[in-house]
Chains A and B, each alone.
Chain A
């Protein structure tokens, strides 16, 4: 029985070896222990010995070839004549191994999506060999899905130029599994689909982003017997996130309590289970932050002429698409702005509410970006066309400016909770906004 000559595993983590040279030729007699060929690994070049006596036959790898470990590269046979190949597999091997070779030109045949929720198809088998002539209607291959096995036609007339997957492989839907060329191909290709997938996976791994380093939290060294002075609880709110214990959050969710209301009420964070009691009490009484004299809500009014605004609106409408609420929101944002931070202004009119992000930023004529719902920095309640002329409705989740008509003029009413705006800022905001509404052109400069 012939003995196989294999590419040996020579290193600790070696996948393949390069054949430097053959020291015996096909047909040569070899004795057990004779050096057969030289292999180069990452470390060194070494000779590989014959494990049996006989004749060297069926040499399938040449000097210079990089051969995977464990692959049969020759036989040591009882006679010098090479036995017939077992099933043609060895003959096909060189073409199979030539995975990186360029693919022939032609039409791609893809793995079709055959089911409702199917990501891949199992290639059952090819019905045409590489190089064969096919007609568009000829069945090219069989696919198995979760439901059944189906025959897939070639789809194009021509020649089978490439088969890009092997029977038994799961191929993603949409991936090319064959190429049909108009001309007879010189060297039809046959290879596995996962050869390609591996290359992709490697490329991905290289592009892996580096995780940013985060500042580790310093543990309280509990063993220190000296008690550190207890720091006063500080209402901290990082980037809009409410600080609450996991249990407090869970209970609030289960009981339908809104932790935002504790924030609005100025309750110190982080919230714990006991703070939920305060929230339950608030559920019965309406929010009235007037409990303390220093925390009184503010209400300011200003009056302006209405002509300037009306004329400006007319002009703007003539210039293009007019969203007068976007314009008003823009005025309000400009009045509120003290830095580059994002400002969201909500405009409530006709029972509807629209949010605008940085409405003072877009150039006139371009529409202001609409923001998602949420708590805005300022609400603008447009009652110019309503019969109400004066309001006193109390603080809401954000400072509110209500615009009402007063015959020829307009009245602006600013209402807010004590912790929303300081008295100085409230005065400045309303003064500035009244000025802009009286002389809108000033806003353009």
Chain B
């Protein structure tokens, strides 16, 4: 199978859906001729014109609000939010308007829009361009949240998101845009709420989101050399969450570490760990661990920034301790 970059996969997904459905359009800052700073959308404006690949002023709440109204009236906008950190700017339009409209209208109005944005530190961009804010939106009922872990997921999840009748937020890891993975030429969708077992194992389950799936896979390699068999699972969407698959894996292995690049406190890892605790408690032979980003604003200095995110080595250290029966927390 051919291999393409995650960037190319996203571009293909959007182009294919725009060809398929005339109501789909892209709106955001520098999405047309510039093709975004990450060049993910390059070529789209040439094919679809400026009416469907719409450059906006630097006014995130404004174009987000316009997208919500367009979605309510028969369009399927894809909003390009240049950095995930800017979610704070559009919170009212995303959480008070888009997320609640279907419910508040008793099911009469839909908001089929995709908000594509990114996450991820270690790009030396400091605290306002490096955050991973998926937990913030996953907390709000009415929003769906997808977190592709490779080019394959990025394309399949994007196409599903565009066809979904709800507001969907897709977080792409900005460090993964140039990573290649096998992606079929033919049309495919990845359903929401279906986890993917990336690697089977019997001693411990490593649940990762987005690029943390790769961290988990690398940790599993390290552990395999020591005779510890780790299972790696990618939930692919955190809302909806494939709870059954995660619980089934943990019931099998008795141990789990949940890894996500958002801040560890009150985060995605906490949520998933709690559900495992509630539903697999009597199958646990060790506490479920959370591994998120440190609870600090992302620092600029490489010497500091690299300390803040989970690494394969750190995951392996914790996995070893769990498998050795060490008490991680004071009892």
Interface residues of A (CB under 8 A from B): 217-225, 227, 230-231, 233, 236, 238, 243, 245-250, 270, 272-275
Contact = CB atoms under 8 A, between A and B. Distances in A.
10 contacts: A219-B264, A222-B264, A222-B292, A225-B306, A225-B311, A230-B326, A270-B325, A270-B327, A270-B331, A274-B325
A222 B285 contact: no
Nearest to A274: B325
B314 A227 contact: yes
B289 A222 contact: yes
B294 interface: yes
B284 interface: yes
A224 B307 contact: yes
A275 B284 CA distance: 14
A155 B133 CA distance: 72
Given A247-B282, A247-B284, A248-B285, A222 B329 contact: no
Interface string B284-302: 1110011111100000000
Given A218-B330, A222-B264, A273-B285, 13 more contacts: A221-B264, A222-B257, A222-B291, A223-B294, A224-B314, A225-B306, A227-B317, A243-B331, A245-B254, A246-B282, A247-B284, A247-B285, A272-B325
A245 B308 contact: no
A236 B330 CA distance: 10
**A-B pairs with lowest CB-CB distance, top 3:** A222-B291, A227-B317, A272-B325
Contact of A223 (B286, B293, B321): B293
Interface residues of B, number: 35
Interface of B: 254, 257, 264, 281-286, 289-294, 306-311, 313-315, 317-318, 321, 324-331
Contacts of A246: 281-285
Contacts of A230: 321, 324, 326
Given A220-B289, A223-B294, A247-B254, A233 B314 contact: no
Contact of B285 (A220, A225, A231, A245): A245
Q: Is the interface of A mostly helix, strand, loop or mixed?
A: loop
A246 B286 CA distance: 8
Contacts of A275: 325
A222 B325 contact: no
Nearest to A236: B331
A322 to B, nearest CB: 46
Contacts of A231: 326
Contact of B282 (A225, A243, A250, A270): A250
Most buried by A among B308, B310, B313, B327: B327
A217 B331 CA distance: 8
A202 to B, nearest CB: 34
Given A245-B286, A247-B282, A247-B285, A218 B329 contact: yes
Nearest to A243: B331
B285 A233 contact: no
Given A217-B330, A220-B328, A222-B290, A272 B311 contact: no
Contacts of B257: 222
A233 B331 CA distance: 12
Nearest to B329: A217
Contact of B310 (A219, A220, A222, A274): A222
Contact of B318 (A218, A222, A250, A274): A222
B326 A224 contact: no
A347 to B, nearest CB: 35
A231 B293 CA distance: 24
Given A217-B330, A222-B257, A245 B284 contact: yes
Contacts of B321: 230
A274 B83 CA distance: 48
Contact of B292 (A223, A243, A247, A249): A223
Contacts of A220: 289, 318, 328-329
Given A233-B325, A247-B285, A274-B325, A225 B313 contact: yes
Nearest to B321: A230
Contacts of A270: 325, 327, 331
Contacts of B314: 222-225, 227
Contacts of A218: 329-330
A225 B325 contact: no
Contacts of A249: 282
B283 A247 contact: yes
Most buried by B among A222, A231, A236, A273: A222
Contacts of B290: 219, 222
A248 B255 CA distance: 12
Contacts of B318: 220, 222
A34 to B, nearest CB: 40
Contacts of B292: 222-223
Nearest to A250: B282
Most buried by A among B282, B285, B308, B328: B285
A219 B269 CA distance: 13
Contacts of A227: 313-314, 317
B285 A223 contact: no
Contact of B331 (A221, A238, A248, A250): A238
B309 A223 contact: yes
Given A225-B306, A225-B311, A219 B294 contact: no
Contacts of B306: 225
A221 B294 contact: yes
A225 B307 CA distance: 6
Contacts of B328: 220
A163 B282 CA distance: 55
A219 B331 contact: no
A273 B284 CA distance: 9
Given A222-B318, A225-B313, A273 B254 contact: yes
A58 B331 CA distance: 71
A245 to B, nearest CB: 4
A272 B204 CA distance: 14
A222 B311 CA distance: 10
Contacts of A224: 294, 307, 314
B285 A272 contact: yes
A233 B281 CA distance: 22
Nearest to B269: A222
A223 B284 contact: no
Contacts of A247: 254, 282-285
B193 to A, nearest CB: 26
B59 to A, nearest CB: 35
A221 to B, nearest CB: 7
Contacts of A250: 282-283
A182 B290 CA distance: 73
Contacts of A217: 329-330
B120 to A, nearest CB: 14
Contacts of B315: 222
B262 to A, nearest CB: 11
Contacts of B331: 236, 238, 243, 270
Contacts of B286: 245, 272
A233 B294 contact: no
A249 B326 CA distance: 17
